[in-house]
Structure 1
């Protein structure tokens, strides 16, 4: 799953059903840049926390709840490895610039 921002465009969710990987990707932005984006909090030069609701909103419709089940399982697994912020419940993501 890739939370992607390209230039001046709004956020998008790519590889929406890939629950084995999670990252924040900036395209057409200078390496190291950290644009102010609602739902994203930078914690290091190459990591950020992304609000779970932001990801859910980007995923769009899920009429049968299948996507949400996969997402919740991913969050549960990530928590075991310390990739969920205990206070905000945001998901830690590696940042990649392309």
Structure 2
């Protein structure tokens, strides 16, 4: 799955059926991180270490398959599978994703596989 945040700071979930990959692509340079943190609060928490803690609630609602019970169950299974790696924040119900910035080379190589 790919959370894409465009240059107008509108977030959308792409590749919702690919539950083996999870990353965030931001169409802004990494130097804009401080100003983007507040703007993206509904999606998740941008951290200074190159990751974003994406809200599980936002993810479930943003999916084009949000009403598909099988997809919801598969997302739950994905979340359970990555819990052992410390990629789930239990207090905020957020999932850790690598961030690829506009100025990061070859974003398709930056998507992390979850298996």
* TM-score in terms of structure 1 length: 0.87
Instruction: Pick the aligned partner of 2:72 from 43, 68, 72.
Output: 68
CA–CA distance in structure 2, aligned partners of residues 84 and 63 of structure 1:
23
CA contact (8 A) 2:88 2:94 kept: yes
- Give the aligned partner of residue 100 of structure 2: 96
CA–CA distance in structure 1, aligned partners of residues 66 and 45 of structure 2:
26
Bigger proportion of residues as helix: 2
CA contact (8 A) 2:44 2:55 kept: yes
C-alpha deviations, 1:13-45, integer Å up to 9, x for none?
111011111111112x11243312123112223
SS of corresponding position for 1:88: coil
- Give the aligned partner of residue 46 of structure 1: 50
What RMSD over aligned residues (CA atoms) do the two structures have, in Å? Answer: 1.6
Task: Give structure 1 regions of 4+ aligned residues with deviation exceeding 6 angstroms.
Answer: none
Gaps of 5+ in 2: 103-115
* TM-score in terms of structure 2 length: 0.76
Tell me the number of residue pairs that the alignment of Structure 1 and Structure 2 aligns: 97
